[in-house]
Every structure is written in C-alpha cells, then in structure tokens.
Chain A
Amino acid sequence: MAKLLFTALVVLLGCLGVGLVLPKWLQFMLTMAMANGLVSLGLVILMRGGVVAFGQGLMAALGGYTAALVFEHFQWTEALALPLLGGLSAMLITAPFAPLLARYRGIFFSMLTLALSMVGYGLLVKTDALGGSDGINMGRVHLLGHVLPDEWVSYSLLAVTMCFVALSLVWAKVYFASTRGLVTRAIRDNELRVEYMGGSVAQTMAINFVVAAFLAGMGGALAVMALGHIDPNFSYWTTSGEFVFVAILAGSQSVMAVMLSSVLLEVVRSFSSAYFPTTWQLALGLFLLLVIRFLPQGLGALWRSKPQEEAP
C-alpha cells in the first residue's frame, strides 16, 4: 500500500512537472484525454465483470451538466468541488437503474444501457431549460477560491485533472484487489459459482455500475470545465462508443493503460483530423481493428505478461 502511494505520488509529481513545459494546446488535449479516461476507467470496472455499457456518454453528460448548472445558477466555481459534485449527481441519478441493469448480461446489458442513454439524450435535446440541442456554457472555474490568470488556466485545469485521475487510479488499484474487485472477476468467469460460494452477483454488479457512474460524472465535469461548454452530443451513443473503444484498447489488466489509451486515442484523433480531415474516421476504424486483431488483451498486456486464465 505504502509502495503504491509512493509510486503514485512520484508519477503524479513527474507528470505535473512535465505538464509545466508543454505547449497550451497539448495541455488542453491531455486534460480532455484524462477526463475521458476517467469515464473509460469506470467502464473497465464494469468490463472486469463481463459487461460493457454503451451508455457511459450519458453519465459523463450528467456530470458535465451538473457542473455547468451549479456554476451558472449557484455560482459554485470551485474547481476541486465541481468534479465531485458531477460524479455524485451522475451516481444519484443512475443509482435507481443499477439494480435493474444488474440483472442483464452480454449484449442485452449493452443494448439496454444504450437505450436508456438515448432516452436521456432525447430528454436533454428537448429540455429548453438545459439549452436544448445547443447546450449550455460554463465560465472559468476558480481554484481554491482564487481567480485563474489567463496564462495559467490550461495548466491549472490539467493539474486538477491529473490529481483527480491519480486519486481515482490508486483507488481503482485498491478496489481491483479488494474482495469485491475479485468477486467481479469471478463473476465474469462464472457467476453461478459465485452465487454458490455466497457472493451476491446482483449486488456486486449494481455497485460496480454506480461506481462507474461516479467516475464518468467526474470525468464529464472535468471535461466541461476545460471545454467551457456542454451539449447533448456528450450523451450520444457514438460518444459512448469512443469510451468503450478506449476501455477495450486498454484491456482490464492495468489501470495506467486506461489513461495511456485515452491519450493515444486523443492523439490519433487530433492528428488524423488535422492531416486527413475527410478520412479521420477511416483511420480511427482501422486503428481499432488492428488493436482488436493483434492486441486482444489490450495495451495493458504489453507490460503485464501475467496470463489471464479463462474458466472452462
């Protein structure tokens, strides 16, 4: 545990240091990548239990809208509080659905989350109080009560995002090794055996779902703080597809891989939309196919060679 915290602290400080010397556009890109990475981290937690949610975009949007609304209407501008608030609201709004969704597996879980997220998308588009399809804007956040000067905005947001990401990654690592984390793995292999051994499959799945919602809401709020704007497209299923993409790219063996994959996706996306503006989806699709074909366990398998055993 101490070793884990120490490593995390060193890596975080290293990243914060490196962040200082990066150009502004790269700082922004990394902020977005990390914020999105949090959403995918939630997905990885679900995927360890064998289910893939195709509606995480809506959860991120819930967090983002909460942050933007609280900012505009209540003038809560604290950069350290808004992501937590976003996470909490995403968690509370989706919690009633968790016990229901926990009953589904495989393609049906994916499709049901997709359907529910599209209902949410429809509601967001039609709700004028939330700006309809134009969405709403959000001003500049404060950090510990201080106004952020122009030249420090993008670095501050990157730093805040990195801190949240570091905390989440450490927590995820602990969670994966905890009893519930291990039960989650067992559920993917064979849930009937888990029930026989006294574990509650439905409870574990529901809790994972709620936790994933929290992470997604937090990621959404962080992304909106950096973007300054949110619209319903956040919750569209193609956005959710990108989060799944990152989670698959990362695999479920390493939490760092999630962030790396998210950054990699953002880099591929930025470069291909800059250099092949008309064919960037083509490039993205090709990239995805190659990953699934040649890296079936995800990027994480590159430095974690521990073989994953499948139950018969």
Chain B
Amino acid sequence: MQLALTILVDGLSYASWLFIVALGLTLVFGVLKILNIAHGSFYALGAYMAASAVALVNNLNVSPYFSLLAMLLAAVALAALVAPVTERGLLRFFYGRDEVLLVLVTYAMFLMLEDITKLIWGANPYYVSEPYALFGNLDFGNQSYVGYDLLLVVLAVVVGSAMWWGLNRTRFGKIVTAVIHSPEVAASMGVKVSRVYMVAFSMGLFLAALGGAFTAPMISVQPGVSVGVIIISFAVVIIGGLGSIEGAAIGALIVGLARAFAVHLMPVAELFSVYVVMALVLMFRPQGLFQRIQARKI
C-alpha cells in the first residue's frame, strides 16, 4: 500500500511536467504538422533560463516565492525571443515538405541549439534547488511527499484546462481548429494562416520552456537534458495520438506511471520501460490511443 502510493505520487509528478512538455509538442504537430525534435532543446533552454532567473532572484533578497514568478517569466521571455526567430526565420521555408524531412530539419535545429546552449551557459551543471523546498513536505501516514511535486500536478491541470478552453471555447481556438483541418480553406476565409502558425509555435515553445523551467529545481541542469526529454515526450504523444490534448494527458499518465513502476519494482527496466509501452501501444493502435483513422488516398 505504502509502495503503491509512492509509485502513484512519483508517477503523477513525473507525468505532470511531461504532460506540459508533450502538450507543446502535440500542439505544434497538430497545427504545423511538424514533429519537433528541437522541442527537447527548448525544454533545456527553459531550464537554463529558469536556473539563471532563480539565481538572480536569490541575489535580490526578496521573498523566495518570487522565484516561481521568475521561472514563469523565464519561459515567457524564451518563447517571445526564440519562437518568432525560428518559425519566421527558418521553419517557414520548409512548410509543405515531407513529414520525415521536417523531422530532420528540426533535428538540425536540435544539433545547433545544443551547441548554442553550451556556448551561453557552459558545460557545467547548474543547481537551483531552492524552489523545490518552498512548499515543505506533506505527510501521509508515515511517508512524506514533497509539496513541490504536488504543485506540479496543479500546474499541469491548470495548463491543460486553459489549453482545452482556449482551443474549444474561444474565437481564436476555432480559427486554429480551422487551420488544422485545412490551411487553404482557412486562408480563403480571410484567416492569416502564417500568424496562426507563429502563435501556435510560440505557444508550443512556451509550454516546453515552462516544463523545463519548473523541473529545473528538481534536476541538475546540464548538457544532455534535452535528449532524454525529446524521446520521452515523443513516446507520450505517440501513445496518446498526435495532435490530441486528451491523448497527451493519458499518454503522460501512462508513461509517468510505467516509469514509476519500473523505478520502484524493476530498476533494471527503467531505461526502456517507456519504449516498451510505446511499442506495445503502437502495435495495437497504430495511430495512438486518441487518433481518428485517416482516409487513404487512392
């Protein structure tokens, strides 16, 4: 029972930041039809920005709760700075090309961002664990859980709901849905498709950076964090079905719990538990759990 609860809490907190990151990935895929390998680099950039921002707040002698705000602002700043440059300056030249070719374009971006990150922040790890202790520990029975983990769960729920509301209940959301279905028809109705692309890409980048920023206190921020995140968030969106919010949520839960199970019960399998789940899901539901079957061209 103890163990089950631990696995559940562990899995949930892991699933929550993963959901935030995967949501960005699935949004960008849904709108721009790009499976973005550089998404993991944006996550890493978010973590680095947050590390610097928290260090700055720590030097200012203000309430430590400001570091949470600083982390959020770091993600916003990153999205505002980097998204327009990459989308307008680079990606738009490749729209309409083969999906797999676009994966390769983002692979090139990933390679470049890896080095750019190292150039800016160096190769040494950063530790900013102060925010992690902000919410103390919560006791259940004789087991205690870190409050920050539960904050992440709340954050994931808030972000997910906001996203769902934004896409399903606002005018702009309807426009985005129209663009997803058919960019040409949307354009002929007077929608500025390129602007929708840019907003969607910025939003996706922001979510990656947000995930990175709020996990920064839990990890050592160093070169290489991006690589693991890319593959694992790929697994999440593939399991859930590309381009679906519910899918990303379920996928993140499955992956988070599978990993927590493996960590606590079968540590040997930690490395590949996630891929096994992904392979299994793909074998039985080739389009993911929440994807509608697409018509084939004749």
Measured CB to CB, the residues of A under 8 A from B are: 52, 100, 103-104, 106-108, 110-112, 114-116, 118-119, 121-123, 125-126, 190, 192-193, 237-238, 241, 244-245, 248, 278-282, 284-286, 288-289, 292-293, 296
Contact partner, B94, options A121, A190, A237, A292, Cβ 8 Å: A292
Contact, CB under 8 Å: A190 / B297:
yes
Dominant SS at the B interface? helix
Contact, CB under 8 Å: A293 / B93:
yes
Residues of B within 8 A of A111 (CB): 234, 238, 278, 282
Contact partner, A116, options B100, B107, B269, B279, Cβ 8 Å: B279
B100-125 CB mask vs A (1 if < 8 Å, else 0) is 11011101111110111011000000
Contact, CB under 8 Å: A279 / B286:
no
Contact partner, B227, options A107, A114, A238, Cβ 8 Å: A238
B87 CB, min distance to chain A CBs, angstroms: 14
Contact, CB under 8 Å: A116 / B275:
yes
Contact partner, B112, options A108, A278, A285, Cβ 8 Å: A285
Contact partner, A108, options B116, B119, B238, B271, Cβ 8 Å: B238
Contact, CB under 8 Å: A115 / B108:
no
Query: Would you call B272 an interface residue if the criterion is a C-beta within 8 Å of the partner chain's C-beta atoms?
Result: yes
Contact, CB under 8 Å: B272 / A123:
yes
A288 and B106 CA atoms in complex are apart in Å by 10
Given contacts A114-B234, A241-B107, contact A119 B100 (CB under 8 A): no
A-B contact count (CB 8 A): 110
Given contacts A192-B296, A285-B108, contact A248 B238 (CB under 8 A): no
Contact, CB under 8 Å: B104 / A192:
no
Residues of B within 8 A of A285 (CB): 107-112, 115
Max chain B C-beta neighbours (<10 A), residue from A106, A119, A278, A293: A119
Residues of B within 8 A of A114 (CB): 231, 234
Give the bracket for the number of chain B residues in contact with chain A: 35 or more
Query: Would you call B283 an interface residue if the criterion is a C-beta within 8 Å of the partner chain's C-beta atoms?
Result: yes
Residues of B within 8 A of A125 (CB): 271
Contact, CB under 8 Å: A245 / B104:
yes
Contact partner, B275, options A119, A281, A284, A296, Cβ 8 Å: A119
Contact, CB under 8 Å: B111 / A110:
no
A58 and B282 CA atoms in complex are apart in Å by 19
Given contacts A115-B275, A238-B227, contact A107 B116 (CB under 8 A): no
Contact partner, B100, options A110, A238, A288, A296, Cβ 8 Å: A110
Contact partner, A118, options B118, B231, B269, Cβ 8 Å: B231
Contact, CB under 8 Å: B101 / A292:
yes
Contact, CB under 8 Å: B227 / A282:
no
Query: Would you call B99 an interface residue if the criterion is a C-beta within 8 Å of the partner chain's C-beta atoms?
Result: yes
Contact, CB under 8 Å: A122 / B272:
yes
Can you name the residue of chain A whose Cβ is closest to the Cβ of B93? A293
A293 and B97 CA atoms in complex are apart in Å by 10
Residues of A within 8 A of B100 (CB): 52, 106-107, 110
Contact partner, B103, options A103, A110, A118, Cβ 8 Å: A110
Query: Would you call B156 an interface residue if the criterion is a C-beta within 8 Å of the partner chain's C-beta atoms?
Result: no
Contact, CB under 8 Å: B275 / A122:
yes
Query: Would you call B6 an interface residue if the criterion is a C-beta within 8 Å of the partner chain's C-beta atoms?
Result: no
